[in-house]
Structure 1
Amino acid sequence: MKFSTEALRHDWTKEEVLSIYHLPLMELVYKAATVHREWHAPDEVQIATLLSVKTGGCPEDCSYCGQAARYHADIKVQALLPVNTVLSHAQKAKERGSTRFCMAAAWREVRDNRDFDRIIEMVKGVNEMGLEVCCTLGMLTESQAVRLQEAGLYAYNHNLDTSEEYYDKIITTRQFDNRINTINNVRKAGITVCSGGIIGLGETVEDRVGMLRTLANMETHPESVPVNALARVKGTPLENNAKVDAWDMVRIIATARIMMPASMVRLSAGRIEMTEAEQAWCFMAGANSIFTSDAEKLLVTPNPGVADDMSMLHNLGLKPKAV
C-alpha cells in the first residue's frame, strides 16, 4: 500500500473530472478499484457510529434536512444529551466493532456556552476510550476548533453538500464560503477534516463534479469524504425528489477515490434503499467506511442495523477495519 503523498494532485480541471466521471462504468470501477488497492487494504471497511446528541430545532433552511425548525417533518426535538448517556452509546459502539464515533448537534454554529463545555467533556470521554472521535456542530471559529483539538477531537465533519454554483438553491441561511472558512479553521487547529456531499438534491453532474473538485483541490485533501444519497424526509422541500440511482452513487464514489486516493471514502446516507449487491459495487469502487447503528438510524433517517451490516460484510468477504 502507498503512504507517500507525492502522487496526490490538487490541480484538477473540470474537464478532467468530467472525463473520469463519464468513463464506461466497468472501466471507471476498474480504475478506482486499482487506485483503492494501491492505497488501502481492499478487504477492510471502517465501521463508524453517528449519534445525534442534539436533535431538531435548527434555524438553518437546508432543503434536505428534517431537523430544520421551519419544516414540518416528524422529528422529535431533543435537547443536548447528558455526557454519561453519550459515553454509554460510545462504549456500546466500540463493543460492536466501531472504531470511529461521531457526535452531531443540530446547531447553525457553535456558541461559547455551557452546551459547548458539555461537548468538550464528551470529546474527552470518547477519546479516552481509544476511538476516533468526530463532531459535526455547524460553523466553528478557530478558537473553538483549538478547544476541541485540545480535548482530543480527531475529526470535524462539515460537508460542502453540493457545488458552490448550486449551493444557494439548497441553503440560503449561510454562504458556501462559510463552509470553507470552518474547514480552514479546523485544519489550522490540527484536526482532520471530514467533508463530502449529497447527491439527489436536483443538482447536475457538473455540480457533483464541482463539489469533488473543490475538495480535491484543497491544499490538503479531506482525510474523510462522506458520500450521501438524499434521504427524502417528509415535510422538507425535497421530499418528492427521485430516489438516487445506485449507479450514480458508484460513479461519484469511484471518481472521489481516483481524485483523493488517500482519503477514507464513506458510503453514508441512503444505504437503507440500496441492495447488498449495490453496496458491494460501491465498495469495489473505493468506498471503505460505513455508518451503522443499533437504533437503525443515521441521525434521524433510517439506516441498516449492526447485525445486517456485519452479515453483509461477511457475505462480501470484508472485515471491519481495526483501530
Structure 2
Amino acid sequence: MKTTIRNNWTKQEIQQIYDQPLMELIYHAASVHREYHNAAEVQVCTLLSVKTGGCPEDCSYCGQAARYHTDIKVQALLPTQTVIEHAQKAKNNGSTRFCMAAAWREVRDNRDFDRIIDMVKGVNDLGLEVCCTLGMLTEQQAIRLQEAGLHAYNHNLDTSEQYYDGIISTRTFDNRINTINHVRKAGITVCSGGIIGLGESHIDRIAMLLTLATMPKHPESVPVNALARVKGTPLENNAKVDIWDMVRMIATARIVMPKSMVRLSAGRIEMNETEQAWCFMAGANSIFTGERETLLVTPNPGVSEDMKMFQTLGLKPMVKHMKDEACTAH
C-alpha cells in the first residue's frame, strides 16, 4: 500500500519529520521516493534566461535586480528563433523540460508577451515540457499561456510567509499565492519551491514546506535551491548552505509531497559529486543543466559533467517526461 497523499499536514507533523535523525530521515524519504518514482531516473531540465537584468524588484538574493550593482549585464528579450535553437540543443543533450525565464516583476500585455507566446508554441512543437517564469500573472494571461501549450509555470515562494518581508519588500507573499492560484485555475502545472540560506530559521523552512504541502493540490514540481551568493546583492556575505541542511530539506519535501518532482536546483556548483548523491538518495529526481554552464546568471555544472556523474552513480536521464500529468483544458 502506497504512502497516502495528504494535503492536511500540520506544522508539528512536518517538524517531526524534519527533525528526525538524519539517516532515519533519508531512509524514510528514499522509501517514499521508490513508491512513486523510478529512483534510477533523474529528469534533466534546461533553464534559459530569455530576458536578463533590469528587474524593478528588490529580492535580496537576486543579481538581476536593477538597484544592485552586480556584474550581470542587462539583456533584452532574445529573438524567438534563438530561443527555439537553444531548446533544440537542450533536447539533443537529453533535456525533457525547457524553462524560459524573464526578469520581469509582472507580465504586461504587450508585444514582448506576444513573443513569449510564440516561444512557448515553438518549444512545445519540439515535444518538450515548456515551463516559464515571468513574474506575476493575471488569470487571463495564464489562460493565454495554457492555450499556447505551456506545461508548467514556475513561481517560487522563496521562503516562509513570516520571513518574506525581510527578503522582498516590492511584492507580498499573497502576490505569490495569487499567481499560483491563477496558474492552477488555467490548467497549467505548478512549479513552486524556495531557497535556503537566506538567513531564515529552520522553522521558516518548515513553514514554507507547510504552505506547499497544504495546497489543494501539491505543486507538480518543487525546486529546492541553495542561495547563490551574488556579489553586489545584500546577501553576498551569507554563509554557504550546509549540505546536510539541503539534504534534510529535500528529504522532508519528498515525504510530505510524494508525487512531486523534487528539483535539486541552484547551488549545485558548490556541491561535489558525493554531496549531490546524498540529495538524490534523499528524493531529488530532477536537475537543471545546460550547454552554457549557467543557471540563469549564476554558474552551474554543464551537460558533460552531469552525464559523467550519472554514470558514476548509476543514474540515467528520464526519457519519458510528464506530459500525461499535464495541463487540462481551461
Same fold per TM (> 0.5)? yes
C-alpha deviations, 1:256-311, integer Å up to 9, x for none?
00000000000000000001000000000000000001111000000000000000
C-alpha deviations, 1:71-92, integer Å up to 9, x for none?
0011000000000000000000
Q: Which amino acid aligns with 1:49?
A: T
Q: Which amino acid aligns with 2:72?
A: I
Q: Which amino acid aligns with 1:224?
A: S
Q: TM-score, normalised by structure 1?
A: 0.98
Look up the match of 2:179. Answer: 182
Paired residue for 2:233, among 209, 233, 236? 236
2:36 pairs with 1:39: yes
What CA distance in whole angstroms lies between the structure 2 residues aligned with 1:26 and 1:176?
34
Paired residue for 1:103, among 94, 97, 100? 100
Equivalences for residues 70-219 of structure 1 within 5 A: 70-219=67-216
User: Secondary structure of the residue that 2:310 maps to in structure 1?
Assistant: helix
Look up the match of 2:327. Answer: none
Give 4+ residue runs of structure 1 displaced > 2 Å after superposition. none
2:34 pairs with 1:17: no
User: Secondary structure of the residue that 2:44 maps to in structure 1?
Assistant: strand
Paired residue for 1:68, among 47, 65, 69? 65
What CA distance in whole angstroms lies between the structure 2 residues aligned with 1:296 and 1:92?
13
What CA distance in whole angstroms lies between the structure 1 residues aligned with 2:302 and 2:61?
23
Q: Which amino acid aligns with 2:116?
A: I
User: Secondary structure of the residue that 2:98 maps to in structure 1?
Assistant: strand
Q: Which amino acid aligns with 2:25?
A: L
What CA distance in whole angstroms lies between the structure 1 residues aligned with 2:209 and 2:255?
11
Structure 1, unpaired ranges of 5+: none
2:295 pairs with 1:298: yes
C-alpha deviations, 1:47-77, integer Å up to 9, x for none?
0000000000000000000000000011000
User: Secondary structure of the residue that 1:103 maps to in structure 2?
Assistant: strand
What CA distance in whole angstroms lies between the structure 2 residues aligned with 1:200 and 1:68?
19
User: Secondary structure of the residue that 1:27 maps to in structure 2?
Assistant: helix
Structure 2, unpaired ranges of 5+: 321-330
Deviation at 1:136, TM superposition (A): 0.1
Deviation at 1:12, TM superposition (A): 1.0
What CA distance in whole angstroms lies between the structure 1 residues aligned with 2:16 and 2:4?
19
User: Secondary structure of the residue that 1:80 maps to in structure 2?
Assistant: coil
Identity %: 79
Look up the match of 1:268. Answer: 265
Deviation at 1:188, TM superposition (A): 0.3
Paired residue for 2:25, among 23, 28, 33? 28
Q: Number of aligned pairs?
A: 320
What CA distance in whole angstroms lies between the structure 1 residues aligned with 2:290 and 2:240?
22
Look up the match of 1:313. Answer: 310
Q: TM-score, normalised by structure 2?
A: 0.96
What CA distance in whole angstroms lies between the structure 2 residues aligned with 1:69 and 1:43?
41
What CA distance in whole angstroms lies between the structure 2 residues aligned with 1:105 and 1:245?
29
What CA distance in whole angstroms lies between the structure 1 residues aligned with 2:217 and 2:7?
8
Deviation at 1:7, TM superposition (A): 1.7
Q: Which amino acid aligns with 2:272?
A: T
